[in-house]
């Protein structure tokens, strides 16, 4: 859908050898978030985008180039677009709105175009219905900007008004509607009753039905979208309230992608790392060196990420090490061939070796770009995995993960919860709070007041903020979860002891003291609902 939009809303022709039409892309922060996980700067350039600029930045006039706009239809965005028309910034304007624009705002643009004598320059105006962010082929989020406005906290605030709740529901419904328009399919909707999920389901159902009733303008019958409503393969949309499974988002994780998301600064498939400053000491009185920030994109084109993002962390460390060894072997082979090619003297053996090795070197040189890409990915994952490992070691995340799994699967605990909370070396105050909340949510019987006071004191001594506990306490009493606590299946991880190959001295990852835990399949409460 984005590629069609960037091609002036005409489906791009595959394998066309002609030059693309050069153009400028203007987006707001919402548009930027939608495009950046899907299209790289190189891909944009291949589609003729020479410049991509934020709508509200200072932009110079480029009068002989068409501009493609991709923005939310907000009041301030519309005002700025009208200003662009008045200032005659570009040759022609292709206006694409992320969500449907209202009639009154469309009239504002029309009036500005008439006033600026630029009606002929506004080439196309489209509602794109792309108000959601695609992170992977089968994973989407609704928004990144102002995401706290549609968060769990926003919906469950005790002081929320009806109008605020309506606005939140409308925002969620708009994004889900956009998703199904883009997919070109009408879903079968299932939801849990009496919750926010039901409100969303009812509103979405109404919006879909209204659109289908208007046969002339229906978004699900166009040629471009495939036979959406006539398809027998309708997707199932399951809307679930977060409250049915509150322990899982608090749970410490053990797979690569989940750990990166939990402990590092990871947004929209990009991880930002602070490189530790060099060890050399700076002279007395000098300013401390600034830490370098590095960004890495973890995308679908990264084969290592695709293969290992769901693997337990020790396996990932081992795989990085194996990749590194195989890369070094290939590199040594190229170096060896190079040195042989530099043979001097007319030795007959050397001449025959030379003809053999010429073919080998030719193939080695042709695989050089692949080798360089492999090296880039190894460096990337070495840095990311090392940063994750530092967190695991300093916060004892392996211990937390194993302990929480035991709590959630009702297994016997080898260490008392009070000892875990009181241990000054294990984790941050937030880690301890997460652990205790999981215990509180998962236990069939809430701890007695005496025990609870003891836990509270230990948590306060560890530097925890007790506000989350008081919320969960009220929530549990309100939902009467104690009578039917969520079952998390019987899935205790098995420690395998320290692993062999990664422990060798040549490894990049000194995993000493970190448990090698293997994940077991477990049935989540959401699966049971399905």
Distance CA(426)–CA(396), nearest Å, equals 6
Query: What does the pLDDT look like over 437-496, one tens digit per residue?
Result: 999 988 878 788 898 999 999 999 989 999 999 988 888 887 764 344 455 555 555 544
* The pairing of beta strand 270-274 with beta strand 293-297: antiparallel
List phi, psi (to 5°) of 97.
-105, 135
Distance CA(113)–CA(67), nearest Å, equals 15
Of 149-163, 172-186, 219-233, the least confident: 219-233
Q: Which residues contact 143 (CB under 8 A, 6 or more apart)?
A: 30, 33, 131, 132, 133, 150, 171, 175
Give the model's pLDDT for residue 448.
87
Distance CA(303)–CA(487), nearest Å, equals 35
Structure tokens at 173: 């419904």
Of 159-163, 208-212, 349-353, 500-504, the least confident: 500-504
Distance CA(334)–CA(119), nearest Å, equals 62
Query: What does the pLDDT look like over 359-379, one tens digit per residue?
Result: 666 766 667 788 888 888 999
Region of residue 404 (phi > 0: left; psi between -120 and 50: alpha; otherwise: beta): alpha
Give the model's pLDDT for residue 198.
92
* The pairing of beta strand 270-274 with beta strand 23-27: unpaired
Structure tokens at 323: 């990749």
Give the model's pLDDT for residue 499.
38
pLDDT at 351 over 90: no
Overall average pLDDT of the 58-74 stretch:
93
Give the model's pLDDT for residue 293.
86
Overall average pLDDT of the 5-22 stretch:
81
Q: Which residues contact 276 (CB under 8 A, 6 or more apart)?
A: 291
Distance CA(179)–CA(470), nearest Å, equals 37
List phi, psi (to 5°) of 270.
-120, 130
Predicted TM-score (pTM) of this structure: 0.83
pLDDT bracket for residue 408 (50, 70, 90): confident
CATH superfamily of 1-127: Sec1/Munc18 (SM) protein, domain 1 (3.40.50.2060)
Structure tokens at 142: 């609704």
Contacts 24+ apart (CB under 8 A), 333-337: 333/364, 334/361, 334/364, 334/365, 334/368, 334/371, 337/361, 337/364
Distance CA(276)–CA(271), nearest Å, equals 16
Of 184-193, 398-407, 508-517, the least confident: 508-517
Residue with tokens 């875990």: 420
Q: At what angle do helices 368-395 and 256-263 cross, to 10 degrees?
A: 60
pLDDT at 504 over 50: no
Give the model's pLDDT for residue 372.
84
Give the model's pLDDT for residue 503.
37
Give the model's pLDDT for residue 443.
84
CB 426 within 8 A of CB 398: no
Comparing 229 with 24, which gets the higher pLDDT? 24
Overall average pLDDT of the 418-429 stretch:
87
3-state secondary structure 9-74: CCCCCCCCCCCCCCEEEEECHHHHHHHCCCCCHHHHHHCCEEEEEECCCCCCCEEEEEEEEEECCC
Instruction: Looking at 184-219, list the stretches that DSSP marks H as alpha helix, in order from N- to C-terminal side.
Output: 196-213
Comparing 356 with 52, which gets the higher pLDDT? 52
Overall average pLDDT of the 156-180 stretch:
92
Query: What does the pLDDT look like over 139-162, one tens digit per residue?
Result: 999 988 888 888 898 988 888 899
Give the model's pLDDT for residue 355.
59
Domains in the chain: boundaries: 1-127, 133-243, 252-275+293-341+360-395, 403-481+521-525
Query: What does the pLDDT look like over 105-115, one tens digit per residue?
Result: 999 999 999 99
Give the model's pLDDT for residue 522.
63
CB 361 within 8 A of CB 337: yes
pLDDT at 269 over 50: yes
- Tell me the CATH architecture of domain 133-243: 3-Layer(aba) Sandwich (3.40)
pLDDT bracket for residue 505 (50, 70, 90): very low
Give me the CATH topology for the region 252-275+293-341+360-395.
Answer: Syntaxin Binding Protein 1; Chain A, domain 2 (3.90.830)
Using alpha carbons, select from 110, 36, 37, 32 the residue that is nearest to residue 72: 32
Overall average pLDDT of the 353-358 stretch:
61
Which H helix or E strand runs over 266? strand 265-267
Q: What angle do CA 307, 311, 312 make, to 5 degrees?
A: 155
Which H helix or E strand runs over 92? strand 90-97
Dihedral (C-alpha) 170, 174, 177, 182: value to the nearest 10 degrees?
A: -170
Q: Which residues contact 116 (CB under 8 A, 6 or more apart)?
A: 82, 85, 86, 88
Of 26-35, 80-89, 320-329, 405-414, the least confident: 405-414
252-275+293-341+360-395 and 1-127 share a CATH fold: no
Residue with tokens 């006039």: 61
Of 218-222, 269-273, 411-415, the least confident: 218-222
Give the model's pLDDT for residue 23.
93
CB 526 within 8 A of CB 488: no
Dihedral (C-alpha) 378, 384, 389, 395: value to the nearest 10 degrees?
A: 180
Instruction: Report the chain's mean pLDDT, rounded to a whole number.
Output: 82
Residue with tokens 């994750």: 388
Question: 3-class DSSP state for residue 135?
Answer: strand
Give the model's pLDDT for residue 388.
92
Overall average pLDDT of the 303-312 stretch:
92
Of 153-167, 290-304, 499-513, the least confident: 499-513
């Amino acid at each position: 859908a984005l590629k069609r939009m960037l091609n002036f809303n005409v489906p791009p022709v595959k394998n066309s050898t002609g030059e693309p039409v050069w153009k400028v892309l203007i987006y707001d922060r919402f548009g930027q978030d939608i495009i950046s996980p899907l299209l790289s700067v190189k891909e944009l350039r291949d589609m003729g985008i020479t410049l991509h600029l934020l709508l509200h930045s200072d932009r110079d006039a480029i009068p002989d180039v068409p501009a493609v706009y991709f923005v939310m239809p907000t009041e301030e965005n519309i005002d700025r677009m009208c200003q662009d028309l008045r200032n005659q910034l570009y040759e022609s304007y292709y206006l694409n709105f992320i969500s449907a624009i209202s009639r009154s705002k469309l009239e504002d643009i029309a009036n500005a175009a008439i006033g600026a004598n630029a009606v002929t320059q506004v080439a196309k105006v489209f509602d794109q219905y792309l108000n959601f962010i695609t992170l992977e082929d089968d994973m989407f989020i609704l928004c990144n900007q102002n995401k706290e406005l549609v968060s769990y906290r926003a919906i469950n605030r005790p002081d929320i008004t009806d109008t605020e709740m309506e606005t939140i529901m409308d925002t969620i419904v708009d994004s889900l509607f956009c998703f199904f328009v883009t997919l070109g399919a009408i879903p079968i909707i299932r939801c849990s009753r009496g919750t926010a999920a039901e409100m969303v389901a009812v509103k979405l159902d109404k919006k879909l039905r209204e659109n289908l009733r208007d046969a002339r303008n229906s978004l699900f019958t166009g040629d471009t979208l495939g036979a959406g409503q006539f398809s027998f393969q309708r997707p199932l949309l399951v809307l679930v309230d977060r409250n049915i499974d509150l322990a899982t988002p608090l749970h410490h994780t053990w797979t690569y992608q989940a750990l990166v998301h939990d402990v590092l600064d990871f947004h929209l498939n990009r991880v930002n790392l602070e490189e530790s400053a060099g060890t050399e000491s700076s002279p007395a009185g000098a300013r401390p060196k600034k830490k370098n920030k590095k960004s890495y994109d973890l995308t679908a084109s990264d084969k290592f990420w695709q293969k290992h993002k769901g693997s337990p962390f020790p396996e990932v460390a081992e795989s990085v090490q194996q990749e590194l060894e195989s890369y070094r072997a290939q590199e040594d082979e190229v170096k060896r061939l190079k040195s042989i090619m530099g043979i001097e003297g007319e030795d007959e053996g050397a001449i025959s070796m030379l003809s053999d090795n010429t073919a080998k070197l030719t193939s080695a040189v042709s695989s050089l770009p692949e080798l360089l890409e492999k090296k880039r990915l190894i460096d990337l994952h070495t840095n990311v995995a090392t940063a994750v490992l530092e967190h695991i070691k300093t916060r004892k995340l392996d211990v937390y993960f194993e302990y929480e799994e035991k709590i959630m699967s009702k297994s016997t605990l080898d260490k008392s919860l009070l000892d875990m909370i009181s241990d000054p070396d294990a984790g941050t105050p937030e880690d301890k709070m997460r652990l205790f909340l999981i215990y509180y949510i998962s236990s069939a019987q809430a701890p007695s007041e005496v025990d609870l006071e003891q836990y509270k004191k230990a948590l306060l001594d560890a530097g925890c903020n007790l506000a989350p506990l008081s919320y969960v306490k009220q929530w549990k009493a309100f939902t009467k979860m104690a009578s039917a606590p969520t079952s998390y299946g019987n899935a205790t991880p098995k420690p395998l002891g320290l692993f062999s190959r990664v422990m060798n001295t040549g490894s990049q990852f000194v995993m000493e003291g970190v448990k090698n835990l293997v994940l077991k399949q477990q049935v989540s409460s959401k699966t049971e609902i399905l």
